[in-house]
Amino acid sequence: MHAPTDSHWVVVKRILRYLKGTTFYGFHITQGSSFALHGFTDADWADSIDDRKSMGGYLVFFGQTSISWKSGKQHTIIRSSTEAEYKALAHGTAEVIWLQYLLTDLQVPSVYAPTIWCDNLGATYLSANPIFHACTKHVEVDYHFVRDRVAKKEIQIRFVPSRDQLADVFTKPFPVASFTAFWFKLRVDPLPSA
Amino acid sequence: MLHQRKYILDILTRACMTSCKPVDTSVSPSKVTLLPDHSFSDPT
């Protein structure tokens, strides 16, 4: 941000043109019977050509409606894809747990522990297996955090195939057809007045 | 429906891009190549 270049400006202009294209779209919020929280977390490993940091993202649904999401570059350089996925899983877990506390404060009953869907088998195994695989301290903290919540049955981590991974859209660029398919799944619709 | 039309129009107005050509995706899916770059002439 402190040394903008012409190519940064080209990218920003593209975002503004994208914003223009979304002017008459909005999130469809419908009344539903489900009070269940479920989340998706995903990462795209070493994606950045500038510094080889990974992109991570999560998406949380409350019933049928997506209520919270994030896309961002991970702060540290990660040396394995499972570790990048695991870091994304830890961020998603923190968000889901916070939302769960909020719902409890609002007296919303929760019957089931929220499910988080992750498309990396290694990361789902790590969250369930009490044997410690990881060998560096920052992974250890994430590991213990997610493991602890799984062990307390506050959340469940499940595997989802990449084609059904809704948080994928927050981790890398997509061609138009696949990108707009995510709009449909995230319930982004044209505004009625448009 | 939850939308941010006003915020979008405010930002586009500020950037003088209200009549720009819209695109369907926020980032190009084709791989970007690193080229020698020039500092942006007007960072403000």
Pairwise CA distance, residues A51 & A48, whole Å: 6
The residue to which tokens 């960072």 are assigned? B43
Q: Write out chain B residues lying below 8 Å of A179, CB-based.
A: 24-25
Q: Give the per-residue SS3 of chain B.
A: CECCHHHHHHHHHHCCCCCCCCCCCCCCCCCCCCCCCCECCCCC
Selected residues 20-59 of chain A with any CB under 8 Å from a CB in chain B: 20-29, 49-50
**What pLDDT score does B29 carry?**
77
Contact A64, B37 (CB under 8 A): no
pLDDT at residue A143 greater than cutoff 80: no
Q: Give the residue carrying structure tokens 């950045």.
A: A48
Residues of B within 8 A of A21 (CB-CB) are 22-24
Residue numbers in A near B4 (CB within 8 A): 26
Across the range B28-44, mean pLDDT stands at 67
Of B5, B25, B32, the CB nearest to A18: B25
In chain B, % helix, strand, coil (3-state, to 5) comes to 25, 5, 75
Nearest CA in chain B to A172: B29
User: What is the pLDDT at residue A109?
Assistant: 79
Task: Please determine, for residue A97, whether its predicted confidence score (pLDDT) is greater than 60.
Answer: yes
Higher pLDDT, A150 or A122: A150
Model-level ipTM above the cut of 0.90? no
In this predicted structure, what is the pLDDT of residue A72?
86
For domain A30-190, the CATH class is alpha beta
CB contact under 8 A, A25 and B26: no
Considering only residues A29 and A143, tell me which one the structure prediction assigns the higher pLDDT.
A29
Could you tell me which residues come within 8 angstroms of residue A154 by beta carbon, excluding any fewer than 6 positions away? A97, A100, A113, A114
Lowest mean pLDDT among A46-55, A114-123, A153-162: A46-55
Length of chain A: 194
Tell me the domain boundaries of chain A: 30-190
A138 pLDDT above the threshold of 90: no
In this predicted structure, the answer to whether residue B10 has a pLDDT above a threshold of 60 is yes
| DSSP single-letter state for residue A169 | G
